[in-house]
Amino acid sequence: MKICIVGAGAIGGFIGTKLAATGSHEVSALARGDTLAALQQYGWRLSTNSGLVQAALHMASSDASELREQDLIIIAVKSQSLGQVAPALAPLIGKHTLILPAMNGVPWWFMKNVQADGLQAAWNKPLQSIDPAGHIQRALPEGQVIGCVVHASTSVESPGLAVHHGGQKLIVGEPAGGESARASRLVEALSHAGFEAIHSKNIRYDIWYKLWGNMTMNPVSAITGATIDRVLGDKLVRNFCSSVMLEAQAIGARIGCKIDESPEDRHAVTAKLGAFKTSMLQDVEAGRAIELDAIVGAVREIGERLEMHTPSIDALLGLTRLLGQSKNLYKI
C-alpha cells in the first residue's frame, strides 16, 4: 500500500516506522520543520526496549501535493490541529483512499451514527468543540473514514525519533458499526507490522471506553503536576475523578456506549501502570497546546445536547481550561 502518516510525532512515528519496517508498503510522511528534516535525513526511527528500529522513508514533504494520492492516510496530529490540517490533505485523497484517524478523544464523525432517545435531530450539526466551522467534515469524506483507538505509550525523544514504552494495540472499526472487508484488510496489514490489531464491531464504544479513563487522568495530572499513582492515591481527588466518570458513563448509556464497569474498576486497572506522566502533563511541561476539547469539552457538549446535568465535568473543563489559558496553551 501507499501509506501517508500525517503527523510523525510519538504515535505517528511509532505506527509509521513499524509499517515501513515490514518492507511491504511505501510509507511517506506529511511533516514540517525539524521533524521533516530529521525524517529526510534518517528515515523512520523508533526506539524500543530491544533497540533502535530504522526503516526506509518513501518520501516526506510539508506539501501534500508532492506526496500525491494514497491508499491509506493515518492521521496522528493533535485533535486541536485537525481543523487546520484537514483541508490541506485533499491531494492525498482519492476515491478509494482510506482515512484512519489515530487520535485521542471524540472524533469529528462520532455523532453521525448516534441514536439517542429519539433526539437524532440534535446530532445533525458538527460538535462545536471539535469542528466548529465544519472544516474537518467537509475535507475528509465520511464514507472513507475508518475508526481507530490506540492503546500504546509513546513519546518523542527528538524530532523524527519516536520512543515506544509499552502497548501496541490498535482497535479498528467502521464508524457505523459492524464488520467490513476493508477494515479486515487494514487489520491484516497492521497485524503483519507487529501490532495487536483488533477488528471491532462497535468502534464508538471502544472510543468512549478509552475516553472514560483519559478524560480524568489527563487533565487532573496536568492541573496538579502529579503522576497517576499520586492522583489515584489521594482519596479526595480519586473521588472527584469517579464523579466525572459517573457523569460520562450516564452520557454514554444514552448514546449507545454503555459501560458496565464502575469507576473503581477502571481505577484499579490504571493504578497498575504505576507512576507515569500522562500525555497532557507532558504537553504542559513542554509548553505545548493541550488536547482538552476532544477529551473533555466534547463530552460536556454531548451532555448539553442531551440536557443532562454535568457539574463535575463542568468543573474539570473549567479548571483545566483556565490552566491552559494562563500558560497560553489553550484558546477558546
**CA–CA distances in Å: residue 127 to residues 131, 193, 300, 319:** 6, 34, 11, 21
Burial pattern 256-278, b for ≥16 Cβ within 10 A else e, equals: ebebeeebeebbeebeeeeebbb
> Do residues 284 and 327 touch, judged by C-beta distance below 8 A?
yes
Distance CA 105, CA 156 (A): 20
Distance CA 304, CA 310 (A): 8
Distance CA 40, CA 61 (A): 9
Which of these is catalytic: 112, 201, 210, 272?
210
Distance CA 87, CA 81 (A): 11
- 118 backbone φψ class: left, alpha, beta (φ>0; ψ -120 to 50): left
- CA 19, 23, 26, 32 torsion-angle sign: positive
Helices (H), the chain: 10-21, 33-42, 64-67, 82-85, 135-139, 181-192, 203-224, 228-233, 235-254, 263-271, 279-286, 298-305, 311-326
Would you call 210 a catalytic residue per the annotation?
A: yes
The Cβ-side half-sphere exposure at 304, using a 13 Å CA radius, reads 11
- Residues assigned a catalytic role: 210
